[in-house]
Amino acid sequence: MFKLSKKVQALPPYLFLEIDKAKRRARAEGRDIIDLGVGDPDQPTPKFIIDSLSQAALDPANHRYALDQGMPVLRNAIGDWYKRRFNVDLSPDTEILPLIGSKEGIAHFPLAFLNPGDITLVPDPCYPPYKGGTILAGGRPYLLPLIAQNDFLPDLKKIPLSVRRKAKIIFVNYPNNPTSACANDDFYTGLIEFATKNKMIVISDLAYSEMAYEDFKPRSLLEFPGAKDVVIEFHSLSKTYNMTGWRIGWACGNTQLIAALAKVKSNIDSGNFSAIQLAGVTALQGPQDYLKSMCALYQQRRDVLVSGLNSLGWSAIKPKATFYVWIKIPPQADALSFAAHLLKEANIVATPGVGFGQYGEGYIRMALTVPIERIKEALERIKKIS
């Protein structure tokens, strides 16, 4: 009876909902599903953070509307964390904006700068809100293929001049979901040069910077000269502190970009629950040693899964960072039917690469979010159907 707006009609289906439905159906049939689909940590939030929330929730001062721009104590803690981790100086007043999860900020940001028909440069495959946020703001995503031959980095030289002129924003995400690729310094330097020359905003999505292995330390794009002129970086407590459900992240970087996002958000939400903001401060300032054990856990799982799959003749890339394994499927198969086959024959949920965009065809993604015994069980099941 009611007609959806053209923008909403143009949105691609949200991949994880489709997968969730298929998984729920399978579970309802009583099947023992091993879910390597959704990238949600299986470990609990560290206790000292939960304790901090419990205490803060009891204080009536925290029950009222929060400040739109976030509590100063949180912005200071974020600034200190960036300084400690990346040696980047940020002004807590003008260069940091807390978010209700980084997804919220990423999806809202294009509203601040796009006019109808404007282009954003979007890596493909990618985290879906880059496309969704662009479309909801009336823009058009121009796809930058992330392919193995180019180490899953976009080839900026290949972007036609006519597209560069209309493009207002370029999205990058390293360590990358879903390919697990990482950026090198040359790419970041070239990206800032490219964006500066073409007067383009760079959105850097750094959600996975703390989930890295073998002493690899992913860098912030804001560490690079000239970055503050063009970059807004999005970060999150979700994956670093197992806090996906809490909804807390932030944007930081260029002052004008931060102010514009704050203006959009002041018309949409009223900030995070103050008790969650205070728990966020505790997370950022508290003991960080548990991070080492979290990475060690994912690393163990990674080694078992990747070597297991490859010994069965599969072609899985060993990630240096993120908890995703990007797996090439046989050339005759397509990603959707391959994932459906795994669910039907082995009760394993994997995410078809094509759900992240057309250049994800030919791949599936598995997340390292189940215990090692379940990964071993998944390998046994795959062996049986191979």
Applying CB under 6 A, which residues contact ligand PLP?
A: 39, 101-103, 127, 173, 177, 205, 207, 236, 238, 244, 249
Nearest to 372 by CA among 313, 289, 305, 279: 305
Instruction: Give the nearest distance from C-beta 150 to ligand PLP in angstroms.
Output: 19
Residue nearer to ligand PLP on the CB measure, 177 or 272: 177
DSSP bridge pairs for 141: 120
Instruction: Give the nearest distance from C-beta 209 to ligand PLP in angstroms.
Output: 11
Nearest-angstrom CA–CA distance, 31 and 226? 54
Structure tokens at 99: 């978010």
Nearest to 230 by CA among 193, 267, 263: 193
Task: Classify each residue of 21-53 as buried b or exposed e, where b means 16 or more C-beta atoms within 10 Å of its C-beta.
Answer: ebbeebeeeeeebbbbbebebeeebbeebeebb
Residue nearer to ligand PLP on the CB measure, 166 or 216: 216
Residue nearer to ligand PLP on the CB measure, 97 or 346: 97
β strands within 48-128, DSSP E: 96-99, 119-124
Residue nearer to ligand PLP on the CB measure, 239 or 301: 239
Residue nearer to ligand PLP on the CB measure, 102 or 347: 102
Instruction: Give the nearest distance from C-beta 156 to ligand PLP in angstroms.
Output: 20
Pseudo-torsion of CA 325, 330, 335, 338, nearest 10°? -100
Residue nearer to ligand PLP on the CB measure, 195 or 206: 206
Structure tokens at 152: 């899953």
Instruction: Give the nearest distance from C-beta 279 to ligand PLP in angstroms.
Output: 15
Instruction: Give the nearest distance from C-beta 173 to ligand PLP in angstroms.
Output: 5
Residue nearer to ligand PLP on the CB measure, 141 or 308: 141
Instruction: Give the nearest distance from C-beta 283 to ligand PLP in angstroms.
Output: 13
Q: Which amino acid is at 320?
A: K
- Which run of H or of E encompasses 302? helix 289-311
Instruction: Give the nearest distance from C-beta 356 to ligand PLP in angstroms.
Output: 10
Report the Cα 175 to chain-centroid distance in Å: 9
Nearest-angstrom CA–CA distance, 32 and 24? 11
Instruction: Give the nearest distance from C-beta 165 to ligand PLP in angstroms.
Output: 28
Q: Are the C-beta atoms of 143 and 124 separated by less than 8 Å?
A: yes
Instruction: Give the nearest distance from C-beta 235 to ligand PLP in angstroms.
Output: 8
Residue nearer to ligand PLP on the CB measure, 346 or 370: 370
β strands within 117-266, DSSP E: 119-124, 140-145, 167-172, 201-205, 231-236, 249-253
Identify the DSSP state of 170.
E
Omega before 175 within 30 of 0, i.e. cis = yes
Residue indicated by tokens 């950022």: 284
Residue nearer to ligand PLP on the CB measure, 53 or 379: 53
